Amino acid sequence: MEAPHGGGVELAVVRRFVDVAVDALAAAREEIDALNVYPVPDGDTGTNMYLTMSAARDAIQQATADDAELVTALAAFRRGALLGARGNSGVILSQLLGALVARMGRATPADRNATVMAEAMTEASQAAYAAVGTPVEGTILTVARAAAEAAVRRAADERARARDVFAAAAEAAREALAHTPEQLEPLRVAGVVDAGGRGLSVVLDAAETVLTGRRPLPAPQPIGTHTIPVAAGETDLRADGPAYEVMYLLDAADDAVPGLREALSPLGDSLVVVGGEGLWNVHVHVDDVGAAVEAGISAGRPHRIRVTHFAEQTARPASRPVGRARTGRRIVAVSAGPGLARLFADAGALVIEGGPGHRPSTGMILDAVAGSGAAEVVILPNDRDSVRAARIAARTAEEDLDVRVVVIPTEAQVQGLAALAVHEPARAFDADVLEMTATARHTRHGAVTIAARQAITMAGPCEPGDVLGVIEGDFALVGHDLADVATQILERMLGGGGELVTLVGGSGSDGLAQQCQEYVADRHAHVDVVVYDGGQDRYPLLMSVE
């Protein structure tokens, strides 16, 4: 994508597109879910596409937080979409996005932006068709192809820019979407447009909005139709279809995938295999779950396996989970190291592995909430960049599950530890959340880390290998000795008063936490000190003052 005034593919514009697309899918999620009658009327296409895009957004945010270059950030976005893809349409969307940014990543300064974007959309459409075992017209594939063809036509004009290409593609997608009921009988019977195609149209509309500033008109509906499909059971659109949806990630050599497709194809339908370079996302509808998983084992190493029974999913409202009633209260905490994970787990929390370079996606947090079995859930993201993902997961869980979810916006691991220390399950939920939130908010936090590159910080310039002192997420000190910087940061934090200092040593910190403990005992005898082995990367010491 180019900036509104030109100048090549710009990361800032890509990031804004991703943010707008996620928000647009969030707003359209219920509408798209309601359109969902093909290939299975399970009412989750909008949710799946939203979660897929959210995972991609989380990945590119994390990459750019680490000052990644454009190509690296686009690669992270592509991988995030692949790992976070859910459902048939989500997997296809991940392939479309992956192919799109792959072409953008290959762009050179000599390439014309309009041509790059048209080629990117063409490659995306072709990749999506190739990923599907038996392509069906009247679906997201048709909408993607129409958009790509319009993009190519518009790019043929030498005066056209990237924004003109995306505007033409978005308009063609809306028009193609309106005709999907003419191509697919289940859509005509239910009186709806294709759900996956509608989701893709929302994404392309987001691109048009970012590049042109215009907000496209809503997609036209076919004449004489409505937007809410008939309830499950009123028309049996899938009476002879497979009973289960099977999805898994697969570590496998690229040359093993054709054999995997051959093995899975006779087992059912809706086969989609996307990915590359040793990592694949596999989706198929089958009756024999074991055979589908065994095919993956024969090809490589399947993991993160998900199985959905359609009969259970469609027999009850999408807003209610299948299975036992949810009871009790659980804390979901993101941990940045093995020692921290043990601390959170010992305090009764359900732990998600996280930290710099491993921040959890929205889908991972949502899975933890869903798997907790609790009726009340408190999420401690413990990282500034994970707060938004946690809030998206919380909002989705509250809408789709019979559960109350609150995110306490902890921006540091030590804030999460402080909040968890005052957690009391016997208290009323609101009172417990209030106490935990107040404790986290009043916990001043700091850290020391090592500069990886030359940079200008709020504390001045730094060189690789310099020691950086951090207070409340901002660089406050540049030095050369870990213990010296750590104690100076402690002094600044204790300047505002405090009764308890918590020190969390990182991986390979060589007794730094103990040195700081001795320092505080010598200089601030009235202050209690607690020391933990956190095992976190990148930060030899985390600290807090309460």
Averages of pLDDT over runs of 10 residues in the chain (546 residues) are 52 89 88 81 80 88 71 88 88 92 87 93 93 90 95 94 93 94 89 92 93 70 40 41 87 93 91 90 90 92 83 47 69 93 92 80 86 93 87 83 90 94 90 92 93 89 93 92 94 91 90 94 92 92 94
DSSP string, 448-473: EEE--S-EEETTEEE-TT-EEEEETT
End-to-end CA distance of the chain: 47
Closest C-alpha among 369, 418, 375 to residue 389: 369
Query: What token pair was written down for 475?
Result: 């660089």
Please tell me the predicted confidence (pLDDT) of residue 224.
38
CB 233 within 8 A of CB 37: no
Helices (H), 335-481: 338-346, 362-372, 387-400, 413-421, 429-441
CATH 3.30.70.1150 boundaries in the chain: 240-309
DSSP calls for 131-194: HBSS--SSSHHHHHHHHHHHHHHHHTSTT--HHHHHHHHHHHHHHHHHTHHHH-HHHHHHT---
Q: What is the pLDDT of residue 448?
A: 95
d(CA 140, CA 112): 28
Q: Which residues, in sequence order, are bridge partners of residue 450?
A: 467
CATH 3.30.1180.10 residue ranges for the chain: 444-545
The ranges of the chain annotated as CATH 1.25.40.340 are 11-223
Residue 512, classed as helix, strand or coil, is helix
Pairing of the two strands 455-457 and 301-309: unpaired
Q: What is the pLDDT of residue 316?
A: 44
CATH number given to 11-223 = 1.25.40.340
Query: Domain 330-441 belongs to what architecture?
Result: 3-Layer(aba) Sandwich (3.40)
Residue owning tokens 């559960």: 403
Q: What is the CATH number of domain 444-545?
A: 3.30.1180.10
Residues in contact with 70: Cβ distance below 8 Å, sequence separation at least 6, in sequence order: 9, 10, 11, 14, 105
**What pLDDT is recorded for position 304?**
84
Residues of the chain with CATH 3.40.50.10440: 330-441
Amino acid code (one letter) for 218 = P
| Cβ partners under 8 Å of residue 399, min gap 6 | 30, 319
What is the second-level CATH architecture of the domain 240-309?
A: 2-Layer Sandwich (3.30)
Between CA 340 and CA 146 the distance in angstroms is 50
* Residues in CB range of 331: below 8 A, 6 or more apart: 344, 347, 348, 349, 350, 377, 378, 379, 380, 420, 423
Residues 6+ away with beta carbon under 8 Å from 61: 15, 385, 388
pLDDT at 207: 92
Q: Is-contact 137 167, C-beta < 8 A?
A: no
Structure tokens, 338: 């093995």
**Cross-strand bridge partners of residue 286:** 244, 268
Q: Which residues pair with 281 in a beta bridge?
A: 249, 274
- Report the SS3 class of residue 309: strand
Task: Of 355, 340, 541, give the one whose Cα is nearest residue 450.
Answer: 541
Spatial contact of 416 and 542, defined as CB atoms under 8 Å apart: no
